[in-house]
């Protein structure tokens, strides 16, 4: 599969990406139903072997299952895949979905993603959803610190509004929307 430059970034990726919700298990969080870990890892490796190099994840996909499976699938080829993951959608003790950009939650989600993905860095880390209760600049400070530490290579926003994009850019360079 041919690769192309991802926007203004130096990384070459496949023009087709793999959405991690599809491997997120038994319908927990944002997911699409049952797939065993063995099948999920085989599917990820098959996609990689066929030239897919851009993989999208989020902790909410299967309540962490998607990222854990990607971590296992790509531990020996980590530098050859471009991983996108996100913060801002989490869950409570009853597995009820919560949208929040609280900075402590953002930091916790970043740490968990790094651990689950078995990596020292995230290629593109995004705020998954806006949060009307938290000024976007506050979690962006967490992401900027992560970028300064080399734990986040690029920062982006999902499902955003122009107002939040403009505010986020006051704190960090946003490379993807």
48 noted as active-site residue: no
Helix axes 65-73 and 103-116, enclosed angle (nearest 10)? 40
Residuewise pLDDT in 10s, the chain (177 residues): 888 888 778 788 999 999 999 898 765 666 677 889 999 999 999 999 999 999 999 999 988 899 999 999 999 999 999 999 999 998 888 888 889 999 999 999 999 999 999 999 999 999 999 899 999 999 999 999 999 999 999 999 999 999 999 999 999 999 999
Task: Catalytic residue, from 30, 34, 48, 61: name it.
Answer: 61
Distance (Å) of CA 54 to CA 3, 26, 124, 136, 157: 10, 24, 10, 26, 17
- Determine if the pTM surpasses 0.85: yes
């Amino acid at each position: 599969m041919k690769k192309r430059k991802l926007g203004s970034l130096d990384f070459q990726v496949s023009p087709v990406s793999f959405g991690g919700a599809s491997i997120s298990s038994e319908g927990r969080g944002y997911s699409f139903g049952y797939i065993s870990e063995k099948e999920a890892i085989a599917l990820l490796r098959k996609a990689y072997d066929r030239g897919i190099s851009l993989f999208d994840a989020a902790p909410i996909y299967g309540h962490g299952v998607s990222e854990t499976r990607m971590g296992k699938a790509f531990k020996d080829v980590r530098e050859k895949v471009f991983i996108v993951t996100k913060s801002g959608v989490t869950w409570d003790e009853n597995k009820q979905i919560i949208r929040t950009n609280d900075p402590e939650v953002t930091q916790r989600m970043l740490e968990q993603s790094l651990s689950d993905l078995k990596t020292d860095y995230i290629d593109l880390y995004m705020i998954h959803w806006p949060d009307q209760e938290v000024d976007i600049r506050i979690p962006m400070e967490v992401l900027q610190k992560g970028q300064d530490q080399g734990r986040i290579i690029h920062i982006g926003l999902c499902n955003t509004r122009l107002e939040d994009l403009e505010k986020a850019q006051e704190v960090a360079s946003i490379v993807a929307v």
